[in-house]
Amino acid sequence: MEIISHEDHDETAWVCLCGNTPHMDGFATCNEKGEEIEPVIGGGWTSLYVCNRCGRIIDQDNLQVVGRKPELGAQSAPSGNR
């Protein structure tokens, strides 16, 4: 089981296992396949986010990685090294 962390002293600033943060490539609300969706009431969003760098799908409630978006999974290098 993989779990992401927070930046020191800021529980709203996630740090993905690939090193991505909100101030780098960021995270986007998504469905269980990692496809970006709007977080609207009745829109099917279930508190999931996708890392815009490596494609890990993260459950906002417990910070657990619950999946991976296949087309981003191979791109885990920091954005400056692509």
- Grade residue 66 by pLDDT with cuts at 50, 70 and 90: very high
At residue 72, the pLDDT reads 65
Q: Which of 60, 77, 78, 67 is nearest to 34 (CA)?
A: 67
- Grade residue 31 by pLDDT with cuts at 50, 70 and 90: very high
Assessment of whether the complete model's pTM goes beyond 0.75 = yes
- 64's CB contacts (< 8 A; 6+ apart) are 1, 2, 3, 58
- 21's CB contacts (< 8 A; 6+ apart) are 7, 13, 14, 15
> Rg of the chain over CA atoms, in angstroms?
12
In this predicted structure, the answer to whether residue 82 has a pLDDT above a threshold of 80 is no
Position 28, amino acid: A
